[in-house]
Amino acid sequence: MIRRLKFASPACFLILSFLLRLAQADSGAQSGQSERWAPLTAGPIVAGTAEVNPVGTWWYSAASYFQKLADAKYVDINTEGVGVGLGKNLGFNASVPVIPFPTDNYYQQQQYWFKWQINRDEETHHLLALPAFGMETRFVDQSGDDKEGVFFMAHKRFKPFELYAQLGAYSDNPIGNGPGAPETLNGMPFNYAISFEDVLSDAHSAGYVIEAFGQNQSNVSFYGKTNAPSWGYFSIAPEIEFNWPNKKSFALAWDFGCFIPVYAYNYVYGFTPMINLVYYFNWKDKSRMSQ
């Protein structure tokens, strides 16, 4: 019994602390706060945000993590990235690896995507107010494996919390295997992610993020019957974040965490430490926009 109490005490403390912050957030909403709350934070890493960059602003990401795939090879994600605001609720992002790796051990992944912000979350102090919604069209080249995808995102601010949701799917193009060899046709990878962010300090955009995300590839394809096996995984990722330095027109956002696998089938996927550094330029209003 004593051992159980010792184990339960930290968990009970964390739960009580969270409930207290939730009560404070609700009391702040009831007090009639009207100023829009939108801190410039680093996370989450997996789930995207529904907003686009304000026109005239841009970010640059110089971070990476490596994900082990089912064929025991690795793919590097977001080695270098940049995002710009185009105006009219439109944005363009790109991620192009610049660090060379041996092609027999690693896949090089390039991503390009356009984003449309459907609406803005004007009320950031009430949980039940309308969140922001966005849509992306993505184009991926992974060592010759071309994919096109459509993603939908939602982002809800409820001071001091932020909630994110992402849902989308890719359609793989047939992969040529040389003269006379049959093409490889993968199924449609289905992606999903939800994230919870607790901003503990507005001044430093410091806090923590908990993400839950996964991917499943079925036997369905736009190009006909697939001849590649299905696979899938589900993971969680605890992260900590802060901004330093944080100037009027420049900020450097830091995010540290680890992917923790929950389950996987036909997929080799282990613990994956990650780091994300994002440089924000010309961010005068400090609204949080993410890759």
CATH of 45-281, one of 1.10.3720.10, 2.40.160.40, 3.10.129.10, 3.30.210.10: 2.40.160.40
pLDDT tens digits for range 94-106: 877 665 554 555 5
Distance CA 163, CA 161 (A): 7
Higher pLDDT, 191 or 60: 191
What are the angstrom distances between the C-alpha of 42 and each of 13, 59, 251? 26, 11, 10
Domain residue limits, the chain: 1-30, 45-281
Burial of 32-65, coded b for 16+ CB within 10 Å and e otherwise, reads eeeeebbbbbbbbbbbbbbbbbbeebbbebbbbb
Distance CA 285, CA 252 (A): 15
Distant-in-sequence, close-in-space partners of 282: CB < 8 Å, separation ≥ 6: 56, 57, 58, 249, 250
Q: Residue 97's pLDDT is what?
A: 66
- 249: nearest Cα among 93, 40, 5, 30: 40
Query: Chain-centre distance of CA 9, in angstroms?
Result: 32
pLDDT tens digits for range 128-141: 889 999 999 988 87
Q: Residue 286's pLDDT is what?
A: 44
- For residue 99, give the DSSP letter: S
- Going by their DSSP bridges, the two strands 145-158 and 106-117 should be labelled as unpaired
- For 62-76, 77-91, 272-286, which range has the lowest pLDDT when averaged over its residues? 62-76
Burial group, residue 231, by CB count within 10 angstroms (0-12, 13-18, 19+): buried
Q: Residue 24's pLDDT is what?
A: 60
Residue at 23: amino acid letter: A
Q: Residue 90's pLDDT is what?
A: 92
- Does the pLDDT of residue 145 top 60, yes or no? yes
Beta strands in 173-230 (DSSP E): 189-201, 206-217
Q: Residue 3's pLDDT is what?
A: 46
Q: Residue 154's pLDDT is what?
A: 96
What are the angstrom distances between the C-alpha of 152 and each of 47, 49, 170, 191, 286? 10, 10, 12, 10, 24
- Does the pLDDT of residue 73 top 90, yes or no? no
What are the angstrom distances between the C-alpha of 89 and each of 121, 135, 201, 259, 265? 13, 11, 29, 32, 39
Q: Residue 12's pLDDT is what?
A: 63
Q: Residue 108's pLDDT is what?
A: 61
Distant-in-sequence, close-in-space partners of 274: CB < 8 Å, separation ≥ 6: 45, 63, 65, 237, 239, 255, 256, 257, 258, 259
Q: Could you tell me what percent of the chain has a pLDDT over 90? A: 23
* Highest-scoring range by mean pLDDT, 76-85, 166-175, 197-206: 197-206
Rounded to the nearest integer, the mean pLDDT of the chain is: 77
Distance CA 113, CA 78 (A): 13
- Does the pLDDT of residue 152 top 50, yes or no? yes
Query: Quick one: tokens of 264?
Result: 């996987």
Higher pLDDT, 247 or 76: 247
Q: Tell me what the mean pLDDT of segment 258-265 comes to.
A: 89
Distance CA 7, CA 1 (A): 10
Q: Could you tell me what percent of the chain has a pLDDT over 70? A: 69
pLDDT tens digits for range 6-22: 445 555 655 665 566 66
CA atoms within 13 A on the CB side of 222: 11
Write down the pTM of the prediction.
Answer: 0.81
Higher pLDDT, 146 or 105: 146
Report whether 161 contacts 198 (CB < 8 A): yes
pLDDT tens digits for range 30-58: 555 667 888 888 878 888 888 888 777 77
pLDDT tens digits for range 185-235: 778 889 999 999 999 998 888 999 999 999 998 877 777 777 778 889 999
Query: Chain-centre distance of CA 53, in angstroms?
Result: 16
Distance CA 52, CA 84 (A): 8
- Does the pLDDT of residue 290 top 50, yes or no? no
Q: In the chain, how long is the greatest CA-to-CA distance?
A: 71
